[in-house]
Amino acid sequence: MKTKIVYLFFVLFTLNVSAQTAAENKKVVIRELPVYRDVDVMATYRGGYEVILKQIKDATKNCKRGSFKGKDSTVIIDVLITDKGKVAKVEFVKADVDLCNNEIQKAIEKATQWIPGRIDNKPVNSYLQLTVNLTNNSESGNTLIRRLN
């Protein structure tokens, strides 16, 4: 009986040590990929910017936070598009007002039809700068988006 218990502990100890060794041998490799601002072909949205514009407009239609205070406003947004066409990061570079920034960010992050930028005809990670002009329009609330660059 004692030998069976000793044998069992020995087997369990050996399995534990081999599992730890296997875990140590698996190294996580983190690869940093370059991100470009100057590319041969800029990232675009399938269907054109009018499609992403409509998505932003729909997302901000019912937004009631903030106000324009009677003025037009410009929001400049940096969007990092991966070489796979996914949105990796959304940063607000300039926002005259804090109106619906979360809704605008969520609408851009949900957008899945990005075509990545290209250098030498190869897709690369690149930044795209969007300019959204907001106008104070009393008929449709505070969030009418006039133009998207």
Higher-scoring residue by pLDDT: 115, 100: 115
Rounded distance between C-alpha atoms, residue 142 and residue 139, angstroms: 9
What is the SS3 assignment for 24? helix
Rounded to whole angstroms, what are the CA distances from 109 to 18, 52, 55, 88? Answer: 43, 11, 11, 8
The per-residue pLDDT for range 7-43, each reduced to its tens digit, is 666 666 665 655 555 555 677 777 677 888 899 999 9
pTM, whole model, 2 decimals? 0.66
The per-residue pLDDT for range 49-96, each reduced to its tens digit, is 888 888 888 887 777 655 555 567 788 899 999 999 999 999 999 887
All structural domains of the chain: 35-148 (3.30.1150)
